[in-house]
Each structure stands twice: as C-alpha cells, then as structure tokens.
Amino acid sequence: MAHSASRRRVRSTRPRLALLVGLTPMMMRALEGPLSLRMDVTAVAFPGDAFEAAAAELQPCLVVVDVTYLDEARVRPLMIDRFSRKGPVLVFVSESGNAWSDDLDSGCSGPMDAFTVAALLALVARPALTLVSAHPA
C-alpha cells in the first residue's frame, strides 16, 4: 500500500527563550519581569563564562544586548557571528533608549522606532498562520 508524502510542521512545545546580555540593573528591572510573562528569560553578564556557556548551549529567539558601556561597533559583529547559525533577533540597546535590531533569520536590520517590551515581543511574534501539511504537486 502506497503512502502519500506529506510534511507536517508542528509547533514546538519548547518555550521560547529571551537571552538578556549585559543589561544594567535598571534595564534588567524594566525588561525581565514583563518578558518572563511571555517567554523564558535568561540573563548573563558580558563578557564572561556565563555568556560563553549561554551562547554555546541556548537556542534563544531573542537576544537583547546592552551596549551602554560597550563599543557597539565591536560588539555587534561579535554577536552576529556568535548567533548567526541560531537565527534569533538581536537587539542592541543603550540606556539612552536607542535600539537597533538584526533579524538573523530574515536578514532584516534597522533602528527600532520604540524600545518597549511590546516592540520586542512583536519582533519575535509567531505568524498567525502555520503550514499544517503540504502535498507535492
């Protein structure tokens, strides 16, 4: 008996993860609680062993990097290289409120109009429609 070929995309039961890198205490308070209502949140210092372990082991969909006290021109390429194979959205922010996003999956980059929890969640929102099955033509 022949079986028709079909592919199914099943939503992962694994919770989505936000990785917060090097956030100042004020920014950590503003983001960690509200983000944790919608996804798992892990925070690490940068640079350091905790960051190295997180970059190697975790599969975040969102990585927020505080560049308040860092040279963004040096940190941004490092982060893009570190996470390029995992495809998250990287967001670089400073306490001034300026933010830049790099969607490593789609290749879209640019400044963010607003740096809010809602704006961060919108960057990683799941599409409303998903492919359930496809039959070859």
- 100/51 Cα distance (integer angstroms): 20
Q: What amino acid is encoded at 43 in this protein?
A: A
Structure confidence by residue, pLDDT tens digits, 75-91? 999 999 999 999 999 99
Q: Is the bond preceding residue 60 a cis peptide, omega within 30 degrees?
A: no
**What mean pLDDT, rounded, does the chain reach?**
85
Structure confidence by residue, pLDDT tens digits, 35-59? 999 999 999 999 999 999 999 999 9
- 44/17 Cα distance (integer angstroms): 13
Structure confidence by residue, pLDDT tens digits, 100-123? 999 998 899 999 999 999 999 999
> What does residue 40 show for φ and ψ, rounded to 5 degrees?
-70, 145
pTM above 0.85, yes or no: no
Contacts of 20 (CB under 8 A, 6+ apart): 28, 31, 32, 35, 41, 42, 43, 44, 64, 66
Average the pLDDT over 131-136 and give the result: 59
Domain ranges of the chain: 15-37+48-97
Give the chain's end-to-end CA distance (angstroms, integer).
Answer: 20
